[in-house]
Structure 1
Amino acid sequence: MESTFSFIPNIPIDAQWSQNGKTVAGGNEKGDAPNQFKKPCGLFVDDDQTMIIADFWKYRIVQWKMGDTNGQVVAGGNGKGNRLHQLNGPTDVLIDKATDSLIICDAENRRVVRWSRHSGTTQGEILIDNIDCYGLFMDDQRYLYVSDYKKHEVRRYQIGDKNGIIVAGGNGEGAGLNQLNCPTYIYVDQQQTVYVSDNWNHRVMKWNKGAKEGIVVAGG
């Protein structure tokens, strides 16, 4: 089975970065035209550098190929709503290569949904509901990690499981090492170590697999 996981390359310690960035998607004021966004949030970059972007206030997921001047709506884009062909405030998205589908944090609808990438797809399906999700990640074993910014926790799910297990936080809102406060985006490495943007604690936390508390690795 092809891995769903994108590895971070080894970056030399003396790597040099360009002093100026360049716009690769959007940059044409806010709006709903094919070359515009309104509050783009999470994104996923595929192996061929195609970007999949959650366009929060336009209730859609946009695919943008590197070098293109316009994006393509690949999920939602049918106005704000909670029907299966609609999204409401998507905050994050990833590609599940095993099923060639998008998994989307449909935040304002309090659900995680899946949309096939096959042509002709007109609606998604609900994977997890009644969750105040914000960030998503899938590891190389196809475990899905989801942050819940109101329960102040991150859970790990097998696809099809609606309950999951807590892998970070879950001890109420707070600044203790066993707590989170509005967790948003997440990353998981090969050892299933979970890195969490702990938003209102102004820090990034690292939770080793099975740990009861995290380690502050940035900010705090």
Structure 2
Amino acid sequence: MPNFNIIQKQNAWFDHFGATDDHHRDVKKNKTKKCTRQHVLISTILAVIVVIVLLTRIPLLQWNSTGITIIGTTGLSGNTTSQLFLPWGLAFDWSNALYITDQKNNRVQKFLMNMSTGSTVSGYGNGTGSSNLNGLIGPLGIIVDENSNIYVSDNGNYRVMYWPNSALSPSLFAGNVILNSEIVVYFLSGSFFFLLYNSNSNNRVCEIGTAGSSMNQLNDAFGLAHDASSSAIYVADSVNNRIMRFFPSNSSGTLVAGGNGNGINNTQLSTPQAVYFDSLSNSLLIANTGAHNIVRWVLGASNWTLVAGSIDGSNGTSSTRLYSASDVTLDPMGNIYIVDRRNHRIQFFPVGESNGTTIAGRTVNIKRLNIFVTFHQISRRSTWPISFLA
């Protein structure tokens, strides 16, 4: 497949957001648009139909297996406003602007709807890394909360930076202090795993252990996801090629995906680096980085189903291939976005019927955000208030 040029990228970006634009959650649009009774009635009927379909026919909905490059140039790194250099994480704000941690360029880029060129919102923008307050070194994880405040895991500086909405400069959010928090997970260089729980009377920190493969150990843990209904925390245990589930009251975890060695079979994972919990289908979306694909693992199942990328573990630059995918997220309409790290691009896979190499897609239940800090990245799946341990 040929690479998409800028015009095609812009059109794809525009077409996608034409389908996801929702004036009900856009404050500015709410001031200028009013729904008639007829529109309200139609919306209600459609909502009921969607709920019925989601509850009864979720397996029939699929993601398209062909991706669209919306940001970056396949295989070409750079530090211009339209280029990326080993991007790592991504997040949406409530206006559907997309934020990307451009790791090797030591910056965070913001891309507005319909645009394939971005603006630097954190870092110096020219690729220069710095430990100054306005600088970054190798940023990885990113969160944008419902108020469009930005939190960046400044990996090379061992800190988390906080950019309030419309602020001209950031502040240190976490680095050398323990903040008053509910529950937070923290990894130090992949070797230590801590839980902080605030019971309103005291803070307790539990060290689970050093790096290892036992049920109370992790080895180079990267991504995190949270199930608010059960308080379970899912961890992408990269070197152990597995996804573990932990509960706040237990120091030992449960294996829920992988754990059968590094491999490309559908019972194995290969250095997973991100995980996304889908409460609607009770499943996990996993960035199966070493196998160059995104897979879905239903909790309780013994194998995964392919979402995007190759089934045989091969990498590539075509629109159906990935190269070291490092993060995955969904927009409000259930379209999937993937950080295709070594292709220096962001891939977009729209919801729609495919030819059988995809899995069930659905409309996302938007959640409020809690931030989990790791040495590597921030994970962003929760209904808790924002909290931190560092």
Same fold (TM over 0.5): yes
Kindly state the Cα deviation for residue 22 of structure 1 after the two structures are TM-superposed: 0.9
In the alignment, what sits opposite 1:88? 137
Larger radius of gyration: 2
User: SS of the residue aligned with 1:91?
Assistant: coil
Q: Which amino acid aligns with 2:81?
A: P
Kindly state the Cα deviation for residue 84 of structure 1 after the two structures are TM-superposed: 0.2
Does residue 207 of the first structure (1) align with residue 234 of the second (2)?
Answer: no
Kindly state the Cα deviation for residue 151 of structure 1 after the two structures are TM-superposed: 3.3
TM-score (norm 1): 0.77
Distance 2:77 2:150 in 1: 24
Does residue 24 of the first structure (1) align with residue 63 of the second (2)?
Answer: no
Q: Which amino acid aligns with 1:151?
A: S
In the alignment, what sits opposite 1:218? 257
2:222 to 175, 184, 196: 184
Kindly state the Cα deviation for residue 207 of structure 1 after the two structures are TM-superposed: 1.1
User: SS of the residue aligned with 1:105?
Assistant: strand
Once superposed, what is the RMSD of the aligned Cα atoms?
Answer: 2.8
CA pair 25-170 structure 1, distance change in 2 beyond 3 A:
farther
Contact 2:185 2:193 in 1 (8 A): no
Higher strand share: 1
Distance 1:69 1:48 in 2: 16
Does residue 149 of the first structure (1) align with residue 198 of the second (2)?
Answer: no
Does residue 54 of the first structure (1) align with residue 101 of the second (2)?
Answer: yes
User: SS of the residue aligned with 2:239?
Assistant: helix
CA pair 50-95 structure 1, distance change in 2 beyond 3 A:
same
Larger RCO (CA under 8 A, 6+ residues apart): 2
Aligned 1:67-146 pairs, distance under 5 A: 67-77=114-124, 79-97=128-146, 100-118=148-166, 121=168, 123-129=169-175, 145-146=185-186
Kindly state the Cα deviation for residue 48 of structure 1 after the two structures are TM-superposed: 4.0
Unaligned runs of 5+ in 1: 1-8, 132-140
Q: Which amino acid aligns with 1:148?
A: L
User: SS of the residue aligned with 2:72?
Assistant: coil
Higher helix share: 2
1:39-95 CA-to-partner distances (Å, cap 9, x unmatched) read 100111234432211111111111123431111111112521101010000010101
Contact 1:148 1:182 in 2 (8 A): no
CA pair 76-210 structure 1, distance change in 2 beyond 3 A:
same
Distance 2:77 2:70 in 1: 15
User: SS of the residue aligned with 1:90?
Assistant: coil
Distance 2:83 2:114 in 1: 15
Distance 1:148 1:164 in 2: 17
Contact 2:233 2:245 in 1 (8 A): yes
User: SS of the residue aligned with 1:150?
Assistant: coil
Contact 1:197 1:204 in 2 (8 A): yes
Deviates more, 1:51-60 or 1:22-31: 22-31
In the alignment, what sits opposite 1:4? none
Unaligned runs of 5+ in 2: 1-50, 260-390
- How many residue pairs get aligned? The number is 194
TM-score (norm 2): 0.45
CA pair 25-129 structure 1, distance change in 2 beyond 3 A:
same
Distance 2:96 2:197 in 1: 27
Kindly state the Cα deviation for residue 209 of structure 1 after the two structures are TM-superposed: 3.1
In the alignment, what sits opposite 2:24? none
Contact 1:74 1:117 in 2 (8 A): no
Q: Which amino acid aligns with 2:193?
A: E
Distance 2:98 2:240 in 1: 29
Deviates more, 1:172-181 or 1:199-208: 199-208
Deviates more, 1:87-96 or 1:22-31: 22-31
